[in-house]
Structure 1
Amino acid sequence: MSIRESSCWRVLLKLSLVCLGASLSHGYLLGTGKADITGPAADVELMGYASPTQVASGIHIRLYARAFLVADENDDRKRFIFVNLDACMAAQAITLGVHRKLKERFGDLYTEDNVAISGTHTHSGPAGYLQYVLYQITSLGFVKQSWQALVDGAFEAIVEAHSSVRPGRLEVAAGELLEANINRSPTSYLENPAEERARYKHDIDKNMTLLHLTESDGR
């Protein structure tokens, strides 16, 4: 695991620890932001299946970056941001680009220690934004338009979250969500030992955890 990947997981761990004890609690400053990251709409490989024939030919729905900011109400320097991209995954190239822009705008307020960038793992977004040669083979090279859209959108979402900060509370809910996902290889799952399969109700995880950010006035 790289240093930057480790930093990302540390930020997510902080978020998890805060949220587990945050139900109906106050004492936080919360902010949210959303920005477009759609990128090139045609003639670019889609990211995920490594198929040179899977080429974009238009826009079905637009893609977004969503940023969530949580800060200590008594010391707003204690803050962290989680950014979720409508992309197959984040990448070091994306992270470095975003942090350069954050440094120029906010100085040392946001760093790799308090900003985590992740992806929804969609396979229906543009490819070509990762720095690794293996991924660039099937995307037919680095696509700067894809990379720039992700960097700019993630940055703009963070700026909006920063600008929308207000007092609020965090709530966490968890439950079983049915008919929302499937195991892509159920026959392979059956190759697991029977005693292991007996430990689980389904052949895929159907538990969902929801983080709810609410302003102090209930909105």
Structure 2
Amino acid sequence: MSSQVIFLSILGTILIGAISPGPSFILVSRTAIAKGRAAGIAAALGMGAGGACLGGLALLGLSALLLRAEAVFVLAKILGGIYLVYLGLRIFRHASAPLVFQDDGPVRATSLGGVLVASLLTQLSNPKTVIVYGSIFAALLPAQPERWLMLALVPMLFGVEAGWYLLVALVFSASGPRRAYARAKVWIDRSAGAVMAGLGTRLAAEGISSRVW
């Protein structure tokens, strides 16, 4: 395959993975609905930054290192799972809190920064993702890829991840979804929190049940 075809194949595969619902989708959509478009965009940019970091780690070969240093990988799974459980329980616990939209007033930079950091940590919390990135690169990248291909992959991975979640943020920050969310906030938040906590519990349990220890 030509380098151009390889490049598009990698980006397409990563996009399919990003579209699959998971903790990242839950966080971005809920943030956009509850806190408005600016916060949703900040969350999307955090997801893009996380995707770029994971792609960079995979290109550096750290995915292979994680597989060899199994104890480190298992520990990362446990810590990542605990973080997702924390986020899920926090969403669940505040499900009954009144909804205050922030569109009509200025949003502090610190709050947007907090949203960006939270979304970045959510994206990075699953060490399996860097393994997926590494597997995709191993399957599609040639043994000696062209220099432009290596240089272009990380920023384009940011574009793919951030672009998808920007779309999610724009859709869910629209007035229709927000009104629907306001009517069913308690149940939506409890469901989202339970799903996120469940995903984290599963990830941590996989690490704890490992025979590495």
Provide TM-score, normalisation by structure 2. 0.30
Asked which structure has the greater RCO (Cα within 8 Å, sep 6+), the reply is: 2
Q: Larger Rg: 1 or 2?
A: 1
Structure with greater strand percent: 1
